[in-house]
Amino acid sequence: MTTIWRWTAALAATLGAISLTTAAPAFAAETAKVAPAEAAPSCFSVRQWEDLKITGFRSYAEVKNNCSRAYRVRVIWKLDFDGSCKSVLPGTGFTEWRQGKMPSVDEIRLC
């Protein structure tokens, strides 16, 4: 009985060592592929305002594409979750809102 236990323990230790040595280079390769998000061009404009609704304050942001081509962008909010990626054609835009007075737009990023 103890022989089986020793064999199982040795096998588990060997497999653990193999997985550690193969996981490190794979993790390093995945980390190298990650690039920082790029800010939207300066031809994008943002207008922000707050409004009091029956459910409380809401913070709004209107994003407009004043560029000559379409971009995929998302709103990065301070003190709240970020918006989803949206395709914005030239001359068009979109509006997002968050609950409360504290959220404000940190930046517009390409995605």
pLDDT digits (tens, 9 = 90+) for 34-57: 556 799 999 999 999 999 988 889
Q: What confidence score (pLDDT) does residue 21 get?
A: 46
Contact of 74 with 86, CB cutoff 8 Å = yes
**Over the stretch 49-104, which tens digit does the pLDDT of each residue have?**
999 988 889 999 999 999 999 999 999 999 899 999 999 999 999 999 999 888 89
The rounded distance, in Å, linking the Cα atoms of 53 and 104 is 17
Determine phi and psi for 82, rounding to 5 degrees.
-80, 155
Out of 1.10.3470, 2.60.40, 3.30.160, 3.30.70, the CATH code matching 44-110 is: 2.60.40
> Are the C-beta atoms of residues 76 and 108 closer than 8 Å to each other?
yes
pTM (global) more than 0.85: no
